[in-house]
Amino acid sequence: MIGEQLPPNHIDYTGPGDFQQQHPEYRCLSPEGHRTRHLSQAFAAVRVRYLELFREWVEQYQADGVCIVFCRCWPYVLFERPVVDSFLQAYGVAMGDLDYFDERVLAHRATFLTQLLRETRQMLDEAGRQQGRHLRTSYVIPAEDYGSTPVPDLGLFTHLKIHAMDVETWVHDGLVDDLVVHVQDVGDPAGNKATGTLRTYVELAQHTKTQVHADL
């Protein structure tokens, strides 16, 4: 899910690929309308492009499923036209008139990334039936926010919500088989801090098909 590195950090940096470079109109937009350095999942054409890549992995190369790393280049949806227009239709108020961290805004933005995962699950089910096996989804998420900007406390998974990741829906709706929690700050040698961090996700996944894994 990586976007462009600006400036590039090594001499042979080739960027995220031609699709992003050829379609600046599909980039995430700041509230002021400025383009960011990565693609937005609010555009159907972007999701189609990802699905084409995912399908290639499992059909041509016989991969066991799809793994997406969500630890870089967030948020995956911001203030693009499909987001703004659909929010106005749903709520009767402009997103730009609300607080950036308004829970309605965050929840609405997250639906577009969740849609990518729904479409991915559907594609994997179709390919899996043809191959006679279950193709898994593995999603790597950050356990904590790496940023320095103060954010309000919105309860569990605040750092994911503000970046358009609705991990609760992913788990409850069966969209993720393997939830890989990337713990950057492991803490003490005994791992007590990491254990506490992971417990939240283990409890979320109880009585569901999702298996939680630690990436320390």
Say if 154 falls within a structural domain: yes
Residue 13 domain-assigned (yes or no): no
| Predicted local confidence at residue 216, as pLDDT | 84
Residue range of the domain that includes 61:
18-215
Q: Which residues contact 42 (CB under 8 A, 6 or more apart)?
A: 77, 80, 82, 83, 109, 112
Nearest C-alpha neighbor of 155 from the set 168, 174, 173, 142: 168
Side by side, the strands of the sheet bearing 211-215 are 65-69, 136-142, 178-182, 211-215
Residue 129 lies in a domain: yes
The answer as to whether 42 is a domain residue is yes
Can you give the pLDDT at residue 145? 73
**In-domain check, residue 198:** yes
- Pair 54, 67: CB distance under 8 Å: no
Judge whether 2 lies within some domain.
no
Taking the model in full, what pTM does it have? 0.93
Domain assignment of residue 6, yes or no:
no
59: in domain? yes
Instruction: State how many domains the chain has.
Output: 1
Chain centroid, CA 187 distance in Å = 25
Cα atoms in the Cβ-side hemisphere of radius 13 Å centred on 110: 21
pLDDT tens digit at each of 216 positions of the chain:
888 877 767 777 666 788 988 999 999 999 999 999 899 999 999 999 999 999 999 999 999 999 999 998 889 999 999 999 999 999 999 999 999 999 999 999 999 999 999 999 999 999 999 999 999 999 999 997 766 678 898 988 999 999 999 999 999 999 999 999 999 877 777 778 888 889 999 999 999 999 999 998
